[in-house]
A and B are shown apart, each in its own frame.
Chain A
């Protein structure tokens, strides 16, 4: 049997194993009421993000200022009331969902790609390379994540792209550590040795054999980190260092409504609730996934 055939066969074997594993995970996840609640909740937000243009009009409801209807209390015309410039708060929250989910997912992807690559290299090669990468990460880890993100945005300037870079970079060390640990846990197993023996290249081994088999902790970590990233996005925007007005973003909505809380608390109530519910749903899913993927931990 030549090497190619062997590799294809191993591949098929791994695939069938993976699929049944995935099904097992779903069966376990389904048992957790909390995780299902989280999935439903995030489902509603994703639905809102996708159907935003059907639900409300971006130009007329979320952006256009209308001083005559400013600071209206919640009612049938404006479900969540209107803000200090007469814009519909519900419409702004709906469009804010798009931004929060987008920025959250993209910045975690940046962190996962960069941090994951560093972690995989460090874990796979070990020795000197591992040492150099880990010392570099120690430096990044020494700065609290939110402060690192604030510093990066402060230097680059406030914009959506810079915000995603800042939140992404501040999450690199976390992902590198998780991926490194995951790689270390499978690196010495027999199927990796088998792949090496048939002459597979290092990057093939890492991408096709090591990573797919060490996905569980990475998926859990990524889910929880999307939650943190959404929180960081709102925090930076609240400080005026993230998404800039008039773009509807939950954090900057809170910053804008701050001066009116004495008589119009709904201005800060609903955007805050949106943040809490999104972050909560992701935390519920993350916790559920952790239990489902690693039954030992329960």
Chain B
């Protein structure tokens, strides 16, 4: 009996400190590992399809055949792909991503230097998107088919139909070349962040608005909203306290997915605005056929995307108890 009681208390305490959430996080982390290994292998495999002889490219035109064969051997390029992958993973775990073929600089160092810039750009863009889209989505849903709703939805649809690099060019023409309010490129203080962040934010703003609106519409038709209204809860409180919380769950998922779109968009936006982030680095490295750098960039992009989705999933589990329930 005594033992049973202790066990019972232990179980309760375990539950209280958020054991299920912890279990959920650990499970998700464990699931992430094989996916990351798979992703790196996939990218490694795709990059290995690159035609052309790396060794002769590094050595330049004057290289003798002997020297090329030697260098290929030195670099381990003659080994089977899986061995090369194993070797790459080994160094990757030590934080070593190899050296650039173009100038011999450390790939990890170069990416480490540029990553904060891309981070700054994408985080500003996602914050802008959320701040603009959630209120518009909520108002559109509560005033369905009003002028505000119709106009908002038309703008959102146009928003998801515009390519980010074109928006960037148009914004440069309008606000930089004509009005002279912002610099047209480069990274120099807060002013230079505004145009690229807006450019990057437009598409995600549009799709988060659409999702917020439709999930809000679904929620406000539920019985418990009617119950709350019948109880005499004020209209604003019903919307903010009862409806929004539930409607946010799908919106948050979309925010996570949009982050991936943002990272892809960052490649284009950084190119248009000459922003010194890893997106631009990746495009430049592709043009220089600098494979280790391309590989490093894509791995960092994918890792960031996976981490954001993991954070979103955890947030999700906190917001929606039904999800935690599955992992009990």
Residues of A within 8 A of B (CB): 135-136, 138-140, 142-147, 150-152, 154-157, 227, 231, 234-235, 238-241, 251, 254, 258, 261-262, 265, 268-269, 272, 275-276, 279-280, 283-284, 287
**With an 8 A cutoff between CB atoms, is B250 at the interface?**
no
- Check if B39 sits within 8 Å of A142, measured CB to CB: yes
**With an 8 A cutoff between CB atoms, is B294 at the interface?**
yes
- Check if B268 sits within 8 Å of A287, measured CB to CB: no
Q: Which residue of A lies closest to B157 (CB)?
A: A283
Question: Which 5 residue pairs spanning A and B have beta carbons closest together?
Answer: A146-B264, A139-B38, A144-B260, A272-B166, A280-B161
Chain B contacts for A147, CB-based, 8 A: 263-264, 267, 298, 301-302
Which residues in chain B, 39-83, are within 8 Å of chain A measured between CB atoms? Answer: 39, 42-43, 46-51
Q: How far is the CA of A155 from the CA of B170 in the complex (A)?
A: 31
Pick from A138, A146, A265: contact of B267, CB below 8 A: A146
**What are 14 A-B contacts with C-beta separation under 8 Å?**
A139-B35, A139-B42, A140-B42, A143-B305, A144-B305, A146-B264, A150-B283, A151-B43, A151-B294, A154-B294, A155-B48, A239-B268, A272-B163, A279-B163
Chain B contacts for A261, CB-based, 8 A: 169, 172-173, 177
**With an 8 A cutoff between CB atoms, is B261 at the interface?**
yes
- Check if B47 sits within 8 Å of A155, measured CB to CB: yes
Which residues in chain B, 162-208, are within 8 Å of chain A measured between CB atoms? Answer: 162-166, 169-170, 172-173, 177
Instruction: State the interface size on chain B (CB cutoff 8 A).
Output: 45
Which residues in chain B, 267-306, are within 8 Å of chain A measured between CB atoms? Answer: 267-268, 271, 282-283, 286-287, 294, 298, 301-302, 305-306
Chain A contacts for B286, CB-based, 8 A: 150, 154, 241
- Check if A276 sits within 8 Å of B177, measured CB to CB: no
| B202 vs chain A, min Cβ distance (A) | 12
- Check if B169 sits within 8 Å of A155, measured CB to CB: no
Pick from B35, B163, B169, B298: contact of A235, CB below 8 A: B163
Chain B contacts for A143, CB-based, 8 A: 39, 42-43, 298, 301-302, 305
| B287 vs chain A, min Cβ distance (A) | 7
**With an 8 A cutoff between CB atoms, is B137 at the interface?**
no
Q: How far is the CA of A52 from the CA of B158 in the complex (A)?
A: 26
- Check if A146 sits within 8 Å of B173, measured CB to CB: no
Instruction: Determine the main DSSP class of A at the interface with B.
Output: helix
Residues of B within 8 A of A (CB): 34-36, 38-39, 42-43, 46-51, 157-158, 160-166, 169-170, 172-173, 177, 260-261, 263-265, 267-268, 271, 282-283, 286-287, 294, 298, 301-302, 305-306
Q: A275-B163, A287-B157 are in contact. List 18 more A-B contacts (CB 8 A).
A: A139-B39, A142-B302, A143-B39, A150-B267, A151-B43, A151-B47, A155-B48, A155-B49, A156-B49, A156-B50, A227-B161, A231-B163, A239-B271, A254-B165, A254-B169, A268-B173, A275-B166, A276-B163
Q: Which residue of B lies closest to A263 (CB)?
A: B177
Q: Which residue of B lies closest to A261 (CB)?
A: B173
Q: How far is the CA of A37 from the CA of B261 in the complex (A)?
A: 27
- Check if A265 sits within 8 Å of B47, measured CB to CB: no
| A162 vs chain B, min Cβ distance (A) | 10
Chain B contacts for A287, CB-based, 8 A: 157
Chain B contacts for A234, CB-based, 8 A: 163
Chain A contacts for B177, CB-based, 8 A: 261-262
Chain A contacts for B298, CB-based, 8 A: 143, 147, 151
Pick from A142, A155, A279: contact of B46, CB below 8 A: A155
The verdict on A272 contacting B161 (CB below 8 Å), with A142-B39, A143-B43, A155-B49 known, is: no
- Check if A152 sits within 8 Å of B46, measured CB to CB: yes
The verdict on A283 contacting B51 (CB below 8 Å), with A142-B39, A276-B166 known, is: no
The verdict on A276 contacting B46 (CB below 8 Å), with A142-B36, A151-B298, A261-B173 known, is: no
| A252 vs chain B, min Cβ distance (A) | 11
The verdict on A272 contacting B169 (CB below 8 Å), with A142-B35, A239-B268, A261-B177 known, is: yes
Q: How far is the CA of A232 from the CA of B162 in the complex (A)?
A: 11
Pick from A136, A142, A154: contact of B50, CB below 8 A: A154
Chain A contacts for B39, CB-based, 8 A: 139, 142-143
- Check if B263 sits within 8 Å of A144, measured CB to CB: yes
Pick from A139, A146, A156, A283: contact of B160, CB below 8 A: A283
- Check if B282 sits within 8 Å of A150, measured CB to CB: yes
Q: How far is the CA of A8 from the CA of B48 in the complex (A)?
A: 51
Q: Which residue of B lies closest to A240 (CB)?
A: B287
The verdict on A151 contacting B160 (CB below 8 Å), with A138-B35, A144-B302, A261-B177 known, is: no
Chain B contacts for A231, CB-based, 8 A: 161, 163
Q: How far is the CA of A268 from the CA of B172 in the complex (A)?
A: 12
Chain A contacts for B49, CB-based, 8 A: 155-156
